[in-house]
Amino acid sequence: MKNIILTATLLIFSFFKGSAQEVNTKKQLVNPVVFESQIETKKAQVIDVRTPKEYKEGTILNAVNIDFLDERFSKNIEQLDKKQPVYIFCQSGKRSAAAAEKLQEAGFEVIELAGGYKAWKAEKD
Cβ-contact 47, 63 below 8 angstroms: yes
Phi, psi of 31 (to 5 degrees): -75, 165
Cβ-contact 32, 114 below 8 angstroms: yes
Helices (H) and strands (E) in the chain, counts: 6, 5
58 Ramachandran zone, left/alpha/beta (phi>0; psi -120 to 50) = left
10-residue stretch averages of pLDDT, the chain, 125 residues long:
44 44 67 94 91 97 96 96 95 96 95 96 88
* Domains of the chain from N-terminus onward: 25-124 (3.40.250.10)
- pTM, to two decimals: 0.78
